[in-house]
């Protein structure tokens, strides 16, 4: 099973990228599919590089995420966090890989118990990666809210200072 999935790597990763880009609005998705320059299309480049690296890790059998896998996953999750995806939509692209693998594999290949166990192992690794991505997403969202709260606090403080200066009230509150 694993050999068959590895053999079809190019098709699987390509389809996974397509489905991930399809989670964006049509105009953005069209741009990402057509613009190949990584500087003009950093979101598309992050998805492409992320998909390649994440697929390699899932198929490697390694238990721990390498720094490169964490970095690539973080790149994609940060982008999706800033783009106002819901948590499930931001992380959901990872689960699309299961769909792609099942679409790509021949149904007959799933008859052997060993093949099923390998598929379950791969599913488990995908789930683990998704949970890690969810944690990253939540950290990004928390940071965004902290930044927004700090900005509101700073604006309010400046308004109060100006009001105090204008009307002669004490600066301390």
Residue 121 in any domain: the answer is yes
| Domain assignment present for 65 | yes
Answer whether residue 163 is part of any domain: no
pLDDT band at 16 (very low <50, low <70, confident <90, very high): very high
Q: Is residue 158 part of a domain?
A: no
Contact residues for 5 (Cβ-Cβ < 8 A; gap 6+): 12, 59, 101, 104, 105, 122
Write out pLDDT tens, residues 102-137: 878 755 565 666 776 777 788 878 888 888 888 889
pLDDT, averaged across the chain: 86
Q: Best-predicted range by mean pLDDT among 25-29, 51-55, 78-82, 105-109? A: 51-55
pLDDT > 90? residue 46: yes
Report residue 160 as tokens: 């109060």
For residue 142, give the H/E element and its range: helix 113-167
Q: CATH number, domain at 24?
A: 1.10.490
Chain CA centroid to CA 57, Å: 15
- State the residue range of the domain holding 6: 2-143
Residue 78 lies in a domain: yes
Q: Which of 82-96, 106-120, 151-165 has the lowest mean pLDDT?
A: 106-120
User: Is the residue at 64 inside a domain?
Assistant: yes
Counting the structural domains of the chain, the total is 1
Distance CA 151, CA 142 (A): 14
Model pTM? 0.66
């Amino acid at each position: 099973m694993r050999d068959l999935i590895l053999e079809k790597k190019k098709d699987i990763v390509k389809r996974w990228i397509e489905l991930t880009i399809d989670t964006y609005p049509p105009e953005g998705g069209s741009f990402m599919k057509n613009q190949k320059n990584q500087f003009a299309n950093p979101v598309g480049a992050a998805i492409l590089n992320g998909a390649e690296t994440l697929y390699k890790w899932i198929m490697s059998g390694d238990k721990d995420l390498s720094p490169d896998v964490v970095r690539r996953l973080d790149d994609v999750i940060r982008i999706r966090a800033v783009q106002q995806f819901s948590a499930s939509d931001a992380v959901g692209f990872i689960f699309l890989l299961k769909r792609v693998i099942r679409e790509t594999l021949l149904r007959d290949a799933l008859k052997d118990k060993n093949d099923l166990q390998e598929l379950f192992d791969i599913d488990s690794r995908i789930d683990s990666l998704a949970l890690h991505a969810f944690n990253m997403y939540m950290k990004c969202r928390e940071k965004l809210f902290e930044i927004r709260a700090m900005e509101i606090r700073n604006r309010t403080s400046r308004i109060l200072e100006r009001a105090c200066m204008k009307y002669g009230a004490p600066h301390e509150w």
